[in-house]
Every structure is written in structure tokens, then in C-alpha cells.
Amino acid sequence: MVGKPAQIGVLALQGAFESHIKTFSSIGERAIPVKNVDELMEIKKLVIPGGESTAISMLLEANDLRSPLIERLSQGMPVFGTCAGMIMLSSRLNSNNVDSLGIMDFDIDRNAWGRQVNSFTDKVKLSFDSKSFFNGIFIRAPKIKSVGSKVKIIAKYKTEPVMVSDGRHIACSFHPELGNDNRIHSYFMEKIND
């Protein structure tokens, strides 16, 4: 692993970035923390982790990363956003204190699954692997209100969409990096191409 060049970066300004790095390592992929423009330019794919969307939004500005990130995205760099990362990818967000990146055509409600005390774990059905359910961990999770015509629902909790893709990017309401199941990270590496 040490000699393998990193293709994946995990935005490491705030949130659960270390858990994503460990999950990628479990599937033989080297991921690096991204805190500055130089590190952003080294990678081919990016993860925006869960955490606090307001803080992530402000820290992108404070670290002069917003414009370079938008430029990389316009060049086609794939992104995987989980929880707060999902909020950052949304194109329609009703919030005064979060400036999302607006790269995926879906509407989101922050913290709509409940407050921290309402966190829960339950079975999520993946469209790309029907063999077994995924154990979804929902912590102050956002809810998808609507999706655009080019966005595909790739996972559901009961009847609710909780993971979507537009073919280049993935956004997920729950935290796949907090369990031992690496199928979603593998899907991002195998099916989402730059």
C-alpha cells in the first residue's frame, strides 16, 4: 500500500474523514487526506465526508478550496458525498448558512431524519447488490426530497431514497464508512469513472 499512488482524496477539513481512509485501505486503495489545493490537485476522485455541513461550507472558503474544487468538478472529477457531504453536493438546499456546491440535481432537507439523539441503524437496500441489505448508520441524516431526471436512486431505506448517483458522483444520507461493509466504497471505485 505504501508505494501505491493515491487516486482518492478525502476532504479532511472536518468530519469523519479518517474512517473513509480506513475503509478504502480495507479494499486495497490508498486514500489521502485533502486539506489544501496542492493535495486536491494530486487526486482523481474525492470524498466529502459526514460532519457538519455549515462548518464544511465555511472551511472550504477559509482554506481557499471552494474555487479550485469547483474547477476540478467542472473537469469531471468524481465525488462521493456522505451525510454532510451529500448536503454539499445538492443543487437545491433551503439553508442560509450552507453554500452547497450544486453539482447533483436533487433537493435535500438537512437533519430531516432527526437530531443526534434520534440516530439509528437499519437495513438499506442497495440496487447494485441485492444479495444482502447494507447496515445503514443514520446520524442527523439529510433526507432527499426530490431528484432530477438524470439522477438515479441506488439505495433505499424502506421506501425512502437514501443514496443517489448521476453516473459520475454519488451522494449518500447515511455513513457507510462507519461499519465493516465496504461495498459502497468498492462501488465508487469500480463503477464511477473519471
pLDDT tens digits, one per residue of 90-108: 987 666 678 889 999 999 8
1 belongs to a structural domain: no
What residue has cell string 443526534?
Answer: 116
CATH code for the domain in which residue 34 is found: 3.40.50.880
H, E, C per residue of 54-97: HHHHHHHHHCCCHHHHHHHHHCCCCEEEECHHHHHHEEEECCCC
* Catalytic residue, candidates 20, 29, 83, 169: 83
**Per-residue confidence (pLDDT) for residue 98, from 0 to 100:** 81
Residue length, the chain? 194
Kindly tell me if the per-residue pLDDT of 3 is higher than 60: no
* Catalytic residue, candidates 20, 29, 177, 185: 177
Range 55-84 average pLDDT: 94
Q: Which residues of 152-162 are buried (b: 16+ CB within 10 A; e: fewer)?
A: eebbebeeebb
83 classed as catalytic: yes
Kindly tell me if the per-residue pLDDT of 192 is higher than 60: yes
Q: Count of domains in the chain?
A: 1
Enter the pTM of the model. Answer: 0.91
177 classed as catalytic: yes
95 belongs to a structural domain: yes
Reported as a pLDDT band with limits 50, 70 and 90, residue 194 is: very low
71 belongs to a structural domain: yes
Identify residue 136 by its one-letter amino acid code.
G
**Per-residue confidence (pLDDT) for residue 97, from 0 to 100:** 75
User: Cα(135)–Cα(81) distance, rounded to whole angstroms?
Assistant: 18
20 classed as catalytic: no
100: how many CB neighbours lie within 10 A of its CB? 20
User: Cα(79)–Cα(51) distance, rounded to whole angstroms?
Assistant: 16
Provide, rounded to the nearest whole percent, the portion of the chain with pLDDT above 90: 73
**Per-residue confidence (pLDDT) for residue 99, from 0 to 100:** 86
Per-residue pLDDT of 23-32, as tens digits, reads 999 999 999 9
101 belongs to a structural domain: yes
**Per-residue confidence (pLDDT) for residue 68, from 0 to 100:** 96
Per-residue pLDDT of 126-135, as tens digits, reads 999 988 999 9
58 belongs to a structural domain: yes
- In degrees and rounded to multiples of 5, residue 69 shows phi and psi of -65, -45
**Strands (DSSP E) found in 12-166:** 31-34, 45-48, 79-82, 90-93, 104-109, 120-126, 129-138, 143-147, 152-157, 160-165
**Per-residue confidence (pLDDT) for residue 193, from 0 to 100:** 65
* Catalytic residue, candidates 20, 29, 169, 175: 175
139 belongs to a structural domain: yes
Least-confidence region, from 119-123, 153-157, 173-177: 119-123
| Domain containing residue 150 | 8-191
**Per-residue confidence (pLDDT) for residue 4, from 0 to 100:** 57
